[in-house]
Structure 1
Amino acid sequence: MSLSDLRVASPAHLVAVVPYLLGFHPRDSLVVVGRREHTLLFAARRDLPPADTPLAEVATFAQHIAAVVARQTIDSVVLFGWTDERSSGAALVAEVADALLELGIPVSDQLRVAGGRFWCYLCTDEGCCPPAGRPFDAEAAEIRRSAGFDVFASREALVASVAPADDEGMRVATVAADRRLEELAARTGPGAGPLFGAIRRAGARAVGVAMARHRDGGTLDDDEAAWLSVLLAHTPVGEYALDRADAAGWQVELWADLLRRARPELAAMPAVLLAFTAWRTGQGALAAVAVDRALEADPSLGIARLLDTVLTDGIPPSELDRAGAA
């Protein structure tokens, strides 16, 4: 789902939309939503600092967040403190608002969300913002019907959704795929060049099969998934797949499925491909989870480290499109 597909007719609608922008229901979080001409273009989340964090550290944290937001092509932002009943998040929200205003970015609203209700941090009119807050359960149900799906209950649940599956069938298939690759190498002529070409050709076929299958709504069987995961560990195949990765929902599903099923030591490149396609489709939280998996599997993988920097610095996918058009 595109951010622009979500209907936002009121502050309550906007609160209800936030979990769909992130992919999960936030907790103890600062959430920033960026808009341009009334269209939602950007959403980011950071953990709230502990309540006893010195104000100077809160200010530094806020300035970093504002700098990330300033890289987006937006007209205004809404800030949310997604809190529990004990903490308000007011200090960080206020610091971020001040830092954004110093950068010339208007803050159109500052809202606190807790326990299924929301408040405006700055509003003192009890007719508008009653002390008990305003519910948004009706709007949440409306957004759920419009989206056609629900989101994860927490970031932990999102992480679990791409955790390694304990699948005996995939273990057996991966052993067979290793043997298949050894046989391919044995049939190839001497020297690195012929083997490089043979692996790339086999990888191109495997990537093509996977993309065609998922584009049509299907999935790979164990043998196909294992073969693809083994081939992606080789640079020419990983590069071939990355060149064809795009902002398509079925590609996110493809690489998420392979990441779950791949043997842990083969997870790096499926995780990179998931991170890239999720970033391209605006699913920043999923992209960050996938980058973590990639770096866990291979801390030295350059493309994973680059994507980690892209996400940390808040570089939008539009920058890639602009670079490609240059």
Structure 2
Amino acid sequence: MNSTERPRLSVRSPADLVAAVPYLLGFHPEDSVVVVAVRGRRVVFAARGDLPEPGADPGPAARHLAQVVARQDADAATVIGYGPAARVTGTVDAVGEALDEVGLIVLDALRVTDGRWWSYLCEEPTCCPAEGTPYDPAASRVSAAAVFAGQVALPDRAALAAQVSPFGGPVRLAMRSATVRARRRLAVLTGEPPGGPSPGGTASDGRPAGGTPADATRSGDAPAARAVRAAGTAAVRAAFRRQRRGERLDDDEVAWLTVLLTHLVVRDHAWSRTDGRDADISLWTDVLRRAEPELTAAPGTLLAFAAWRSGHGALAAVALERVLAAHPDYSLAVLLDDALRRGLAPSELDGWPGAAGPAVLRRRRRRPRR
């Protein structure tokens, strides 16, 4: 789900909106239902969900989608289904009804497939013929404006997921060796055997050996913890300086950073310096793709946070999917994933990381659904 705080696109017709959706999401949707929410005359939010399987009740997913959109302080919305009528019509109807129940005006309900769009609400054959209205996104002025503004629409969601997939081949072999060196370096720093527990016994997902979240600097050997904090702060700051100068980290720098990020005090320092800048997204994308599998939780979650802050909700979602597939109990990823699914505004996390931050999200998770 995407906040659309990006260069403005002028949308004056259903064809313009259909052309704009891929740039709002970051990819061309297929077998999907999309809700584009507006406040006044401005698009403020775009949310996408998969079409339900044939025969499945679209109601629960429709109500969830409507609740997410209602949290955006929108006035109205347009529903767009992508796919054949047999799968789209019932879902679009259910989403429209759910939006009406939460007090949003449904401006239009469209179906898009095979280069044509249909309106479920327009009955005027001169503007909405029964055979659908053809459109060419490549020829649209909206598409041209989006490309000129630097926005990208990938072919599909799989192409977006590929942007956060791990590197293989020689890159993976080089990173494996670099990570062995980084673990040895950390062992010298902490006095622990290579690959053994870190200060405070924190595991690779940021949990101590006993499984309870804790900050490595709050337990264990104090000198070792201070050494980790100092090394982590230096590594994070160096990484941001290099990235913002347009320089790519070498293998040893990435490996050292990923090993240190397993300590929550280091991860939280990195988090405090991460915003929605393009450089932040580029840094954490590169680190995530090069990190060894057991060390992906922190860089993947930091990428998701940066993408979310910048309005690239779809990128945040695929980053979190990768993290949670390998580290399902990584608490920060779980909280961010829940926030994205509920349409929580990124501004809700202003001031994070802080002691109250996770508690705020947990309280919001316990709020009853409207």
TM-score by length of 1: 0.90
Offset at residue 86 of structure 1 (A): 5.8
Offset at residue 213 of structure 1 (A): 1.9
| 1:255–1:274 CA contact under 8 A, matched in 2 | yes
CA displacement 1:8-38 (0-9 Å, x = unmatched): 2432222111111111111000011112232
| Partner residue, 1:123 | 122
| 1:173–1:223 CA contact under 8 A, matched in 2 | yes
| 1:3–1:41 CA contact under 8 A, matched in 2 | no
Q: Structure 2 matches for 1:54-73, cutoff 5 A?
A: 57-73=57-73
Residue 260 of structure 2 corresponds to residue 219 of structure 1? no
| 2:47–2:65 CA contact under 8 A, matched in 1 | no
The alignment of Structure 1 onto Structure 2 pairs a total of residues equal to 319
Cα pair distance change 1:149/1:3, threshold 3 Å: closer
CA displacement 1:76-122 (0-9 Å, x = unmatched): 21111011x46451111111111111211112121211112222121
Cα pair distance change 1:271/1:214, threshold 3 Å: same
For 1:38 and 1:218, locate their aligned partners in 2 and report how far apart those are by CA, in whole Å. 41
Any idea what SS the aligned residue of 2:191 has?
A: helix
Q: 1:204 aligns with which of 223, 226, 233?
A: 233
Q: 1:160 aligns with which of 159, 162, 167?
A: 162
Cα pair distance change 1:3/1:78, threshold 3 Å: farther
Residue segments in structure 2 that go unaligned for 5+ positions in a row: 193-198, 200-219, 355-359, 361-370
TM-score by length of 2: 0.80
| Partner residue, 2:55 | 52
Residue 32 of structure 2 corresponds to residue 29 of structure 1? yes
Offset at residue 312 of structure 1 (A): 1.7
Offset at residue 147 of structure 1 (A): 3.4
For 1:304 and 1:141, locate their aligned partners in 2 and report how far apart those are by CA, in whole Å. 33
Residue 98 of structure 2 corresponds to residue 96 of structure 1? no
Task: Report the AA paired with residue 10 of structure 1.
Answer: S
Any idea what SS the aligned residue of 1:5 has?
A: coil
| 1:171–1:263 CA contact under 8 A, matched in 2 | yes
Any idea what SS the aligned residue of 1:3 has?
A: coil
For 1:285 and 1:147, locate their aligned partners in 2 and report how far apart those are by CA, in whole Å. 19
Task: Report the AA paired with residue 315 of structure 1.
Answer: L
Any idea what SS the aligned residue of 2:54 has?
A: coil
Offset at residue 43 of structure 1 (A): 1.2
Q: CA RMSD in A?
A: 2.3
| Partner residue, 2:312 | 283
Task: Report the AA paired with residue 241 of structure 1.
Answer: A
| 1:48–1:92 CA contact under 8 A, matched in 2 | yes
Cα pair distance change 1:69/1:150, threshold 3 Å: closer
| 1:88–1:112 CA contact under 8 A, matched in 2 | no
Task: Report the AA paired with residue 309 of structure 1.
Answer: D
Greater mean deviation of Cα atoms: 135-144 or 94-103: 135-144
For 2:75 and 2:350, locate their aligned partners in 1 and report how far apart those are by CA, in whole Å. 20
Residue 15 of structure 2 corresponds to residue 15 of structure 1? no
% same residue: 47
| Partner residue, 1:145 | 147
For 2:270 and 2:351, locate their aligned partners in 1 and report how far apart those are by CA, in whole Å. 21
Greater mean deviation of Cα atoms: 158-167 or 311-320: 311-320
Residue 318 of structure 2 corresponds to residue 311 of structure 1? no
For 1:8 and 1:312, locate their aligned partners in 2 and report how far apart those are by CA, in whole Å. 26
Greater mean deviation of Cα atoms: 131-140 or 263-272: 131-140
Any idea what SS the aligned residue of 2:61 has?
A: helix
| 1:266–1:297 CA contact under 8 A, matched in 2 | no
| 2:23–2:151 CA contact under 8 A, matched in 1 | no
Greater mean deviation of Cα atoms: 137-146 or 101-110: 137-146
Q: Structure 2 matches for 1:171-210, cutoff 5 A?
A: 171-186=176-191, 192-210=221-239
Offset at residue 232 of structure 1 (A): 0.6
| Partner residue, 1:272 | 301
| Partner residue, 1:42 | 45
Residue segments in structure 1 that go unaligned for 5+ positions in a row: none
For 1:125 and 1:306, locate their aligned partners in 2 and report how far apart those are by CA, in whole Å. 47
Cα pair distance change 1:310/1:161, threshold 3 Å: same
Of Structure 1 and Structure 2, which has the larger fraction of its residues in helix? 1
For 1:315 and 1:69, locate their aligned partners in 2 and report how far apart those are by CA, in whole Å. 10
Cα pair distance change 1:30/1:118, threshold 3 Å: same
CA displacement 1:136-187 (0-9 Å, x = unmatched): 3311642453233542211111112111111222222111111111121239
